[in-house]
Each structure stands twice: as structure tokens, then as C-alpha cells.
Structure 1
């Protein structure tokens, strides 16, 4: 059951990163522009956000298993539609469906664990899920680069469709209904709207949520532009790109591990501040390099590793601190942060384009907004505020 849930939680990075090495070739095959190709990322990320925002509250009233089964079936079907898409327009629509179903899988996988475990047991399970989620972005582009030559970008979507079938079988055989009828409650989207107003009325929550969302925006600025910048500008082959992308993904994992080890010695807000400052510094250095330094791969690649490593100090801490501000609507707070995360990613992708300057500028702008949100909308923790509960939450997440 845990392995099935882990695959569900890892489906977003798999569906995002596996086909990244093939984006330039995809554009050539479909006879379309770089901006149009990047819309396949935009619609997928938008679908991830919308899917989580809708399906999470609905599952509180309808139960988990039916929605989870429907979501996994839809993901498998969307993979087939992507693989046979005759045009960019059809591919964009299929990627939207893939994002909606993937978002449902992510939010329901978390809900199933929350239904079955509490306290330390839940923290341990979520930690395992986060480790797998961190490994997936490392493996996915390497696998995509290895598969691109033999089977092409269409073959990669067939692989994702097969992963969807595996998820369907796993849900059918290994994942029972975990939300008993007596624990279900109505409200659905109306409850979401009410709790969303409550969360957005909390200034500190908004500050931490904005830090989380724009921190991810900086990361996605790199993700969406990296196939073009690393291959077309820096001259890497798609195999070398896959390796470089995987190494940078390891930076996120290493940053998260260091962050977990230091929580307890330092408060989560201190670690978050460090991460955002490091992210801003890396963004500024990238802008200087691509505008006046000549865009040398010897400089750009290490700076990208520093940037992704900084993300390991941002995402978990911002999530835990933000959730602590809305204890009466923690599920909705999580949905709001998730929807904002992928919603911004959907906007960033077409704006960045395929240039090194566009990527670096977007990283810096997102990092600066994250820093300003942290410094102006939140205050240093006082006694009893953001208190010692957060370190355990951050270590788990």
C-alpha cells in the first residue's frame, strides 16, 4: 500500500521531468514554437493545482477510494492521448487532463496516510514519501534521456500511461477505503471557500504561503527553461542534460537532509530565512553571469546547483510554518499553498521562454518576492508562536 501511495505522490515529477529532455525534439516534430511547447508544461502544472484544490475537499465527503480510482484511470488514459497526439493543441489538452488526474492522485495519497496514521507514525510515513518524492526528479530526467533515443518523446508518454495502469492495479488491490462514512462531512467546495477566506485573512499564513509559492516559482523557472538553456545555449547533449538535471535535483535532496539535521539547533524560520537569502544570492549571480559574464557552463551549472540546494531549505520550512498559522483549516491551507504553487508554475513557464536571461531573471524576481513576503508579512517568532512543534513537522516534511 505504501509503495502504491509513493508512486501516486511521485507521479508529478515523473510526468514533468521524464519528457523534459525531449522538449526541443517535440517542438520540431509537431512544427511548433518553443513557447507553445512550454504550454504543455503550463497546462500540466495548472491541472495539478486545480486537481488538488477540487478533489481534496470533495474526498472529505465522498471518500478516498472512488476518487483515487477515477484519478488513476484518467491518468492512464491521458498518457495514451499524449502519446498519440497529432498536434500541439491536442497534446496541450491531454496534458491538462494528465495534470488534473495527477493532482487528484497527489492530494488523495496524502489523505489516505492521514486517515490511517497519527503522530510519530504519520510523520514516519510522510518522511518516506518525501524521500521518494525527492528521488523521483533525480531518476526521471535520466530515464527520459536514456529512453528518448530508442523510443522518442511519444514513447515516454506510453511509459507514463503504463505507470498509470500500474497505479490503477495498485489502488484496486492494495488501497482500501480509509475514510469511514461516519467521519465524512458535507460542504465540499463551499467549505473550501469558507476555510480559504479564513486562511487568507491570516497575514502570517499569507506571508509563509507566498514564500513557499514564489520559492517554487524560482525552481520552476529553472525547470521549464532548462532543456533549452542547457542544450541550446550551453551546448549539452540530451544525455548530458539529463545528468546535469539529475545532479541539480540531488541538490534539493541534500539541502532537505541538511535542513532536517539542523532543525532543533536552529528555528525553522531561521532556516527558511537562510534558504531564501541563498536562493536570492544565486539568482543575482545567475543574472550577472548571463548578462555580463558570457554564460559559461563552468559558472552557470554550479550556480544552478546552489539554487536548487537552497530550495531544500525553503519548501519544507515554509510549509510547516504556514500550516501552523491555520490549525483549524490545515487541509485547506495545504490546498491553497499547493494550488498557488502549481498555479504560479503554470504562469512562469511561458514567460520564461528558452533564454538564459529569461530563466535567470525569473529566478531572481521570484526569489526577491519570496524574501520580501517573508520579511514584511511575517515577524520573527515570539514565545508561543511558531513554537517547538514546527521542527518535528519540518523534519517530517
Structure 2
């Protein structure tokens, strides 16, 4: 049996591969069938709006699943809910593949998203259960590095499936992935929350846990900061394809290359985060990531102003480099923010993962269409929005400061950490 990390909180280490599978299902189920939406519309004899709603329903379900099931896991334990979510994901994937109509497919995608969201929130809580803060931060970096490659690999995998099948085939493949999730939980993820450390399992206790963390500024400040940062990041995700294709006239294939390179830069940055977090605090690494993204966004804004004065857009290579730095900065910010939020909400880790993941996801979804609403005929709208969000995040960080002394997350520990010592039962 391989040696376990020092001061492991549980007797058996959860498998990193299993955690990657249960937390990485979102990008796979979201991006693998996007190219099949037109064929899906024709096959089901439905409208383009309904076809697109199958995607929206999954995203909404994924956000709601985090908020619903993360807090419940603090009262009922992790493994049973993870297993139930994996089973529901498998069954709904099969029902998606067999759906005879658009509305039924939308309903199944919503349920599929709820199950995927449960895996994301509870999987993060498992890491916090099993490892002390410094090791947990490194694990978050590892998970993030792999998950961030999902948007790059999933469309290519979906395209390969479509070469030999249709949109239903993709859902049959997702059914197989669901079976893999079930096996991963059964074989790779033990129960990490002992009964002695669980809070009340009723609805009232669950609501009180959410209210407790929601009113705790030492936790919520991390959520607020990450929501603002996510606003800048999702402005890029929602607007860059329109802006770059409109301003520079690049093809969809070229944009896919730009997006893939930037996603790889973010994954690489998370690996650097993992290497540094044992020696540098997560607080400082988050500041580094936010500063890189803010500087890059300011650079894009400068280029946009130059375009407005000169009448000609700067070279695409310049914008591409700046966007790569912006996205790469998120590779530091996201795992650092996850580690800081989970440590601040350590007394209710499932609830902390739910609030941080769900609220941030909802904020990102709300921001995504802004560039399209304001305009994308020039660089300026997207650049101004990105810069505004990232600069606001830095200002908020400066105002909020670091209450309670220096940050402990990501620093080597000098004494054992016992989770129950820092937890407050909310029955």
C-alpha cells in the first residue's frame, strides 16, 4: 500500500483519480455535445431555443446541485451522496440518449446537472476532510489542473464520437462515464466525514449551516472576491469568441486554437501553484493570480483605446498573449480561492464548497452574456468589463485585508490538525 501523506485526517486516502472523475464531470458533460446541437434540433424536430436549453438546463442544474447537496453532506456524510449522485448521473445520461422529445431531454439534462453538481461540491469537501490545509491546497491545485483541460479535450472527444455516431451516441458514452463514476466512488473514495463530526441532517440544520457560513464574513469575503474575479473571467469566456471573430475575422477553428492554448496555460499555472503552495501562502498566490489577470486585462483595455484612436486594431498576437496571461492568472486564483474558502468554512466543509461553487457559478452565468448585450464590434466593451471586474477585485482585496492574522492555508504546519477541534456543531 502506498504511503499516506503526513497527518492524513482519515485512515484511508481518497483516490486522486476518483476525485478527478467525480469533480471533472461538468466540463465533459457540458462541452462534449455542443457541436451536435444542430443535429439534435433536427433529430427531435424541435427549435434551436429548445436545443440550446438542453445546455442551459445542465449548467443551471450543476450550480443548483452544488448548493443543494453540499450542505446535506455535512449532515449525512459524503460517500452515500456521492454514490447516489453518480447513479443518478448514469441513469439520466441513459434517459438523455433515449429521449424522444426536446422538453424531456431538457428535464433529464437538468437532473443530470444536479447529480454532477453534487459530485463537484462533495468531492471538494472530501479533500478538506481528508487532508490538512497545506496538503489540501496542493490537492485542489492538482484537481484544477486536470479539470481545466476538460473544455479543451471534451469538444475533441465529442467530435470523435460524432464521427462514428450521432448526438445520442455521446449520451451513451456519458452513460459509460457514469458507470465509471459509480466504480470510482465504490473503489476509490471512502467515507471521510465520521458520524461524530456530522451536523444535524434535517432541513432546519441544513438551513442553519448555510445561514451560519453566509453570515460569517471571514468566509464570505472569499466568496465575494471570487464572484467578482469570476465576472472578469466569464466576460472573456462569453465574449472573446464574438470579439475576436468580429474584430480580427478569424475562423471558428482558429478561435478554438486560441481558446485551447489559453486553457492549457491555465492548467500549467495550476501545476506551478501546486509546486509553490507548500512554501508560499495561498493568500499571496491568489494575489499573484489576480494581479496577472488584472494587468493583462488593463493591457487589452489599452489596446482597445489604441484601436479607438488609431482606427486599427493591434495585432492579434498581442491580444492573444494578453488573454493567455489573463487566463493563466486564473490558474493561480481558482485553486487558491478554493483552498482559502474551504479553510475558512472548515466547520461545514460541504456547505462551504456548495456556497463557493454554486454562488460563483451563478455569477459567472449571469455575466456571460454581457459582452453580447453591450456590443462586440470593437475590443473596448469586453476589455472595459474585464478590467473593471479585475480592478474591483484587487480594490476589494486591499479593503478587506487579512482579518485574524496571517493566512495559514498553504503554509507548512508545525502541529497536527484535527478537523473536529475547529468545528462548531449546528444542530
TM-score, normalising length: structure 2 = 0.74
| Aligned partner of 2:406 among 375, 386, 390 | 386
| Aligned partner of 1:314 among 323, 330, 333 | 333
Task: Please tell me whether residue 43 in structure 1 is matched to residue 57 in structure 2.
Answer: yes
| Partners of 2:225 and 2:393 within 8 A in 1 | yes
Cα offset for 1:97?
1.4
| Aligned partner of 2:251 among 236, 253, 259 | 236
Q: Residue in 1 aligned with 2:261?
A: 247
Q: Residue in 2 aligned with 1:56?
A: 70
How is 1:64-103 mapped onto 2 (pairs within 5 angstroms)? 64-85=78-99, 88-103=102-117
For 1:213 and 1:94, locate their aligned partners in 2 and report how far apart those are by CA, in whole Å.
28
RMSD, aligned CA: 4.0
| Partners of 1:8 and 1:109 within 8 A in 2 | yes
Distance 1:386 1:196, change over 3 A: farther
| Aligned partner of 1:337 among 345, 353, 356 | 356
| Partners of 2:223 and 2:356 within 8 A in 1 | yes
How is 1:26-175 mapped onto 2 (pairs within 5 angstroms)? 32-33=47-48, 38-85=52-99, 88-118=102-132, 125-175=139-189
Q: Residue in 2 aligned with 1:198?
A: 212
Distance 1:180 1:37, change over 3 A: same
Distance 1:62 1:154, change over 3 A: same
Q: Which has the higher mean CA deviation after the structures are superposed, 172-181 or 137-146?
A: 172-181
For 2:231 and 2:57, locate their aligned partners in 1 and report how far apart those are by CA, in whole Å.
15
| Aligned partner of 2:388 among 365, 368, 371 | 368
| Partners of 2:280 and 2:410 within 8 A in 1 | no
Q: Residue in 2 aligned with 1:6?
A: 20
Which deviations, in whole Å up to 9, do the C-alpha atoms of 1:91-119 show, x marking residues without a partner?
Answer: 43332212100011122333444444546
| Partners of 2:134 and 2:278 within 8 A in 1 | no
For 1:17 and 1:111, locate their aligned partners in 2 and report how far apart those are by CA, in whole Å.
25
Unpaired segments of 5 or more residues in structure 1? none
| Partners of 2:90 and 2:175 within 8 A in 1 | yes
Which deviations, in whole Å up to 9, do the C-alpha atoms of 1:6-47 show, x marking residues without a partner?
Answer: 2111111212232344456656766644x7655444332222
Unpaired segments of 5 or more residues in structure 2? 1-13, 414-427
Cα offset for 1:125?
4.8
Distance 1:113 1:381, change over 3 A: closer
Cα offset for 1:338?
0.9
| Aligned partner of 1:210 among 217, 224, 228 | 224
| Partners of 1:211 and 1:370 within 8 A in 2 | no
For 1:295 and 1:37, locate their aligned partners in 2 and report how far apart those are by CA, in whole Å.
37
For 2:412 and 2:31, locate their aligned partners in 1 and report how far apart those are by CA, in whole Å.
30
Q: Which has the higher mean CA deviation after the structures are superposed, 162-171 or 325-334?
A: 325-334
| Partners of 1:206 and 1:377 within 8 A in 2 | no
TM-score, normalising length: structure 1 = 0.78
Q: Which has the higher helix share?
A: 1
| Partners of 1:249 and 1:308 within 8 A in 2 | yes
Tell me, what secondary structure is at the counterpart of 2:331? helix
Tell me, what secondary structure is at the counterpart of 1:129? helix
* Larger Rg computed on CA atoms: 2
Cα offset for 1:68?
2.0
Cα offset for 1:227?
6.6
